[in-house]
Amino acid sequence: MSREYRIETKCIQSGWKPKKGEPRQMPIYQSTTFKYDTTDEMGRLFDLKDNGYFYTRCQNPTNDFVAAKIADLEGGVAAVLTSSGQAANFYAVFNICEAGDHVICASAIYGGTLNVLGVTAKKMGIECTFIDVDAPAEELEKAFRPNTKAVVAETIANPSLVVLDIEKMANLAHSHGVPLIVDNTFATPVNCNPFQWGADIITHSTTKYMDGHAAQVGGAIVDSGNFDWEAHAEKFPGLTQPDESYHGVVYTKQFGKAAYITKINAQLMRDLGSIPSPMNCFILNLGLESMVLRVERHCYNAQKTAEYLEAHPLVSKVNYPGLPGDKYYELAQKYMPKGTCGVISFELKGGREAAVKFMDSLKLASIVTHVADAKTSVLHPASHTHRQLNDEQLVAAGVSPGMIRLSVGIEHIEDILEDLEQALAASEK
Ligand SMILES: *Cc1c(COP(=O)(O)O)cnc(C)c1O
């Protein structure tokens, strides 16, 4: 047994492990295909009888080194990388659902997940019920149906910053014989370990803190290996019945704890192909090496910024789960005691007009459709992501016209606060 390192060490040492004379930095296998000596050798790969690479759409060594690192960071048994966070969340669900099935999803969730499960999955015959994760368990019970196959939620929701009661949700899912899939993008494995609290599958948009430099779009799916698919075999025929497209392989029988991830590689990647480029995986791996340091600084800066904004006379409201007065403070303390994330939302007393003046006056923080990278950035949902909605619809969606989403970067905290100070002063004029 190799010794279990702490996360700071795993970020550096997991994944690529060079042998004598091999490069210390992880190599990029920028190749579509891999060579074999005999017809039979390659044939055995197609039968999933031997382990090996043959075509990058199905698997690539560089991608797999990085996937192994992320699996290690989350404490999972296996992981797969995807070309985006969107693909990760879609594959995580579609791997165990098909037409006629049903899933349950938190309503406080990333807009892209809301769309893929609420609109696109519906066109494929998969129905989704959106729930308020804060409701008591007895209430949430009602959302389950005999054909429910999974529960989906985010540890810290983007952008509402709702913190999930992971234990409550895992117990609920398990009592109905289905896995809990948790998107851990905002908390990262640095701050939260969802498997420890009963989550079964973790997804990531690696585009955010894992990369951390706004340089590549990517996703990851990690399996804890803890969900017993065989115990609920009738619900999950895709894993427990022969796959005719692979000579009748039964994933749970042949691959044990790696069944779920193997099925994604063998079936979904083969057929749908959302593979990341090895080059992007290399960039992601550089980000992972410094992730702990960056996330610590993001959280330190965001905490200071949230406290500053909360005390500011022009600010009417601040949402940040690290603030003792926040609705999610206690849950955050339980599930992520080291810190939450670098994203804050706040509202100006002057409403929409003041928000626009504030945004336009910022000099250091940039206006971008992005969060969770090294550079401080802002977005005005009423003018950007929720632009189609009028003021009443905005309020119904939980977005007030004066709300600003601030992603606090890792610059010096005084420079960030000085920028906010001058922009707030300008917002009054
Ligand atoms: C950004 C994001 C996604 C989507 O990821 P992409 O990499 O942009 O496709 C999914 N979930 C969360 C929580 C996100 O923040």
Per-residue pLDDT of 389-407, as tens digits, reads: 777 777 766 678 888 999 9
CA distance 263 to 234: 17
Query: Does the pLDDT of residue 2 top 60, yes or no?
Result: no
- Residue 110 CB–ligand 1 contact under 6 Å: yes
Q: Is 154 a pocket residue for ligand 1 (Cβ < 6 Å)?
A: yes
Which of 105, 205, 373, 407 for a ligand 1 pocket mutation test, highest count of atoms within 8 Å of Cβ? Answer: 205
Mean pLDDT of 351-357: 92
Give, to the nearest 10 degrees, the angle between helix 278-289 and helix 61-74: 30
Pairing of strands 78-82, 219-223: antiparallel
Is 158 close to ligand 1, i.e. is its CB under 6 Å away? Answer: yes
Domain borders along the chain are: 7-286, 292-427
CB 358 within 8 A of CB 326: no
Q: Which of 82, 84, 86 is the best mutation target for the ligand 1 pocket, counting ligand atoms within 8 Å of the beta carbon and taking the most?
A: 86
Average pLDDT over residues 399-417: 93
Q: Which atom of ligand 1 is nearest to the CA of 109?
A: 13
Question: Does position 42 have pLDDT exceeding 80, yes or no?
Answer: yes
pLDDT at 180: 98
* Residue 148: alpha-carbon gap to chain centroid: 22
pLDDT at 1: 42
- Looking at ligand 1, which residue's alpha carbon is closest to its atom 6? 85
SS3 212: coil
398 CA from centroid of ligand 1 (Å): 19
Tell me how far the alpha carbon of residue 29 lies from the centroid of ligand 1, in angstroms.
Answer: 26
Asked whether the beta carbons of 419 and 364 are under 8 A apart, the reply is yes
CA-nearest residue, atom 5 of ligand 1:
85
- On the 0-12 / 13-18 / 19+ scale of CB atoms within 10 A, 257 is middle
Q: In this structure, what token pair is assigned to residue 343?
A: 């994203």
Q: Residue 202: which H helix or E strand, with range? A: strand 201-205
Looking from the CA of residue 219, the nearest atom of ligand 1 is 7
Identify the architecture of domain 7-286 in CATH: 3-Layer(aba) Sandwich (3.40)
Following DSSP, what letter does each residue of 1-20 receive, concatenated?
A: ------HHHHHHHSS----T
pLDDT band at 329 (very low <50, low <70, confident <90, very high): very high
What is the mean pLDDT of the segment spanning 80-94?
A: 98
> Sign of the CA dihedral 98, 205, 262, 4?
negative
Best mutation site among 204, 207, 369 for ligand 1 pocket (most ligand atoms within 8 Å of CB): 207
Nearest CA to ligand 1 atom 15: 158
pLDDT of 350 reads 93
Distance of CA 221 to CAs 200, 232, 368, Å? 11, 21, 26
| Ligand 1 neighbour 85 (Cβ under 6 A) | yes
Reply yes or no: is the peptide bond before residue 321 cis, omega within 30 of 0. Answer: no
Express each pLDDT in 176-233 by its tens digit: 999 999 999 999 999 999 999 999 999 999 999 999 999 999 999 999 999 999 999 9
274 C-beta closer than 6 A to ligand 1: no
Atom 4 of ligand 1, nearest CA residue:
85
Alpha carbon of 101 to ligand 1 centroid (Å): 24
pLDDT at 48: 79
Other CB atoms within 10 A of residue 33 CB: 10
Pocket test for ligand 1, best of 107, 183, 202, 208 (most atoms within 8 A of CB): 208
Q: Is the CB of 268 under 6 A from ligand 1?
A: no
Strands 219-223 and 201-205: antiparallel
Q: Is the CB of 185 under 6 A from ligand 1?
A: yes
Pair 185, 154: CB distance under 8 Å: yes
Q: How many angstroms is it from 129 CA to the middle of ligand 1?
A: 20
pLDDT for 71 beyond 90? yes
Exposure b/e, 269-301, CB count within 10 A at least 16 = b: bbeeebbbbbebbbbbbebbeebbebbbbbbbb
CATH number for the 292-427 domain, one of 3.90.1150.10, 3.40.50.11270, 3.40.50.300, 2.60.120.10? 3.90.1150.10
Residue 37 Cα to ligand 1 midpoint, Å, equals: 41
Burial 148-187 (b: 16+ CB within 10 A, else e): bbbbbbbbbbbbbbbbbbbbbbbebbbebbbbbbbbbbbb
Name the phi and psi angles at 77, rounded to 5.
Answer: -90, -25
